[in-house]
Every structure is written in structure tokens, then in C-alpha cells.
């Protein structure tokens, strides 16, 4: 059952963030707060997803994707200020993206778009000044 849910999640993630599905692949099968958060996001349970992503960033405070997804959960809950802070935190670790992920350009672009959407910056290129 869990494997089928995860396969659905992978398909949904590919539609939203193709790079994320490719990066995670088999790691989605591990039972971690981050992966539980992804399941919750897929199911629309943003409050629980927020709790899971909070656990993720506590365990990995420099985890770019954890901060980004925490921001996404906050955003879906209408907590714009908390989302902005999470996106900025994710962006603050952007120099570490290349160390952890091959596809750094798509990850940074997604974070830039979130910064614009949430009103932190007016244009994606303005994010470099943060």
C-alpha cells in the first residue's frame, strides 16, 4: 500500500518538480520525516506536512529542500510570513546546493520562484542580493 502511495507521489512530484523526483528516486521508500512530509503534501494534509518538515530541518538545519518544502507547507496553510522565512532560509544555503545535488539550477530556480511568489523579492534575479 505504502509503495503505491509513494509511486503516486513520485508521479505528482514529477509534474510539479521533476528534478525532485529524479533526485530522490528510491530514497522516497525510506521512512523519514521529509518523506512523510511529501506524502502529507500529496494528500493535502499541510498541517501534518509542516510538522514533518519542521522535524526535517531540526535534524538537518542546512537542508535546502527541507526549508523549501517547509515554506511550501506554510504557504498552503496561508502562513505567508512563515513561508517567506523558510524560503529565505533555504536560499541562504544555496551555495551548498552543488555539494548535495547535481541539478542545482532547477532547485535554485524553484526557490527563486517561491521568493517572488511570496513577495520577498520582486523578480527572481533580485534573490541574488539576499
Q: Which residue matches cell numbers 520525516?
A: 33
What is the Cα–Cα distance from 106 to 12, expressed in whole angstroms?
17
CATH topology of domain 2-129: 1.25.40
CA dist 87 → 21, 29, 64 (Å): 20, 26, 9
- Tens digit of each residue's pLDDT, the chain (130 residues): 556 666 666 666 555 555 555 555 545 557 789 888 988 888 899 999 999 999 999 999 988 889 999 999 999 999 999 999 999 999 888 877 666 666 667 778 888 888 988 988 888 777 877 7
Judge if pTM exceeds 0.75: no
- Report the phi/psi class of residue 124: left, alpha or beta, with left for phi > 0 and alpha for psi in -120 to 50: alpha
What is the Cα–Cα distance from 52 to 73, expressed in whole angstroms?
10
pLDDT for residue 103: 61
Amino acid at each position: 500500500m505504502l509503495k503505491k502511495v509513494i509511486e503516486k507521489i513520485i508521479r505528482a512530484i514529477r509534474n510539479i518538480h521533476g528534478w525532485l523526483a529524479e533526485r530522490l528516486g528510491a530514497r522516497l521508500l525510506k521512512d523519514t520525516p521529509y518523506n512523510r512530509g511529501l506524502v502529507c503534501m500529496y494528500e493535502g494534509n499541510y498541517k501534518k506536512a509542516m510538522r514533518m518538515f519542521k522535524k526535517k530541518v531540526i535534524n538537518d538545519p542546512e537542508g535546502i529542500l527541507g526549508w523549501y518544502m517547509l515554506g511550501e507547507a506554510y504557504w498552503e496553510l496561508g502562513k505567508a510570513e512563515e513561508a517567506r522565512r523558510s524560503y529565505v532560509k533555504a536560499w541562504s544555503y544555496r551555495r551548498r546546493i552543488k555539494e548535495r545535488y547535481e541539478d542545482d539550477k532547477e532547485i535554485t530556480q524553484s526557490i527563486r520562484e517561491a521568493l517572488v511568489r511570496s513577495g520577498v523579492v520582486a523578480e527572481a534575479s533580485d534573490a541574488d542580493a539576499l
